[in-house]
Structure 1
Amino acid sequence: MIEVSHLSRQFGTFRAVDDVSFSIPTGQIVALLGPNGAGKTTTMRMICGFLGATSGNVLIDGKDITQDPVQAKSKIGYMPESAPLYSDMIVEDYLNYVARMQNVDAAAKVPALCKTCGLKEVMHKNISELSRGYRQRVGLAHALMNDPEILVLDEPTSGLDPNQIEDVRSLIKEIGKTRTVIISTHILGEVETLCPRVIIISKGKLVADSPTNELRERVGNSLSLNLTLGGASFTDAQKVFAKIDGVVGATKTDGEKIKGERKLCSLRLSVKENAEVRKEIFDAAVKNKWTIYQMEVQKNSLEDVFHALTQGKEEK
């Protein structure tokens, strides 16, 4: 059980984490989601006891991470975004070294982790020779060495190719069957694939904490309308379409480009589910002498909800 209460962290005048509270029961995989620089890593480092909080506290199974750090940290395995490995060591030697440092029976634990983390093919290779995907696996084996009840993973698939991402996700899903797992990520597909619960942080503040399949309700029942316009700027299109009844927001999706002699603008409109706005959008485009190159309706995805909750709040 993890209990985070009114957690804040100040760096000079900058408040990286601002009064964040949540609890995570045993055996749950939870995504800590937010834009780059949202305060996710700072929050995770405070949960793991690697960074002190300016205010608030973290309890791990009732043990305060600051007041009783040895007991609390013994229950946690942490893998930062770039696993800090000794590149000049052979994988097997490195894991044996980690086992000795943590007073773990290396003869029993290292072979078991080799199997769990899929390291059999590289156990006798130098860490410097490994792909990033295998380095992440070694980092994961390190985090699991003390058989922690809680596993904290910061951007575990960052920098991996699609095949490596799928391998690491499968590994995390298997490990999550017997442990509490917190995954920090800004990759929305990761959340929908792995995590039944999402906590969203933006500008250091908690803006959502919900089961993944219920998160869309935070912005209501709505649709997205993807538009590509010729001759319009995003600012002008946003102002014009905001006046249409049923349009509740606009997000730039692909910047502004030039096609021939015309400026192209791509944007996504959030539209109330039962509102029929396409004719009014068409009429507004004609009135402003804009060309509609694309108009596509789609149901809200987790990405749309994420943008709605964090729009204008990118930070740190």
Structure 2
Amino acid sequence: MNTLKTICADVIYLPLRWKGVSIDEKFIYCNGFEDLHEKDIFRPNPVEENPRFWLEVRQLYFDFQDKKWERIESFYKKYGAIRRRAGSQSKFHGESINDVLAWLNWFRVLTIMTEYAKNEKLAPLWEMFGPPRDSEINGKNQVIYFVNMEKVNFEILPNDPPQQLIQPIHNQPTIRYIPTPHMSRNKLEYHTPQNDDQLLAATWQAIIEAVTDGLRPIALVPTTDRSPSKKAPLILWGFQADGALQAAFLQWFFQEIAHMNITTCESNDCNNIVLPPREKFCSDRCRQREKKRRQRENKKEASN
């Protein structure tokens, strides 16, 4: 078995809590930071001690929509910045509300799409993708965007009537599905999902691409466990979360998408990974092969 499939990993997330919060129409400002102490470094972070942390972050989208400023202020005082550590890439200690909302909306839609796909809830997915359709013009006209998009008008040729195109808003994250091209009667056509099986496959394709976008900016660094023990430390691969949203995204990813606590097949000479709902063998073939092998061994022992 490839040993890379059994690596140890951790989410590195040290919240820089805000002392105070000021809010106007466009920005959330940080009025200083709480001091960090040694106990803050060694205690479990929110990802470790609160398995529902990602749900708490997702709820923030609705708090912003409903202008529940007290709850928002409480979150910043407890966890610090949402998108990035305050002041790390900006001239002021704070965050743009539009920027935070766009990313929270991206996270909300991504997690909901995943819930629908895992539970095969087809009706809401058909609403998101729309009815089956195809295009012989180009694939761009059939790309489906699920979040943070806008309608724009453009002219394909001068003096032609403008065509309407849905595209992502500039500098905002999106979730998209790009139809697969097919040759039909010597023509290249782009089809959106035509049936339930294609719908689920397309949903997972969109989810995986969005997860890739979310993982891309997160630093992956070797780290050690945070125990103050003098023994040789356990070396881990650390996913370095920069802000509450990345920490929540990583927690959700490892809880809901990635397969954790994996085991290997118990069949002799097979080291394949056993995925749920299987428990001991990677396949029925391995289960039967191991059963026959044990029967042969039992017969040998009985004959002796």
Larger Rg: 2
- Structure number with the higher helix fraction is 2
- With the length of structure 2 as denominator, give the TM-score of the two structures: 0.26
- Structure number with the higher strand fraction is 1
- With the length of structure 1 as denominator, give the TM-score of the two structures: 0.26
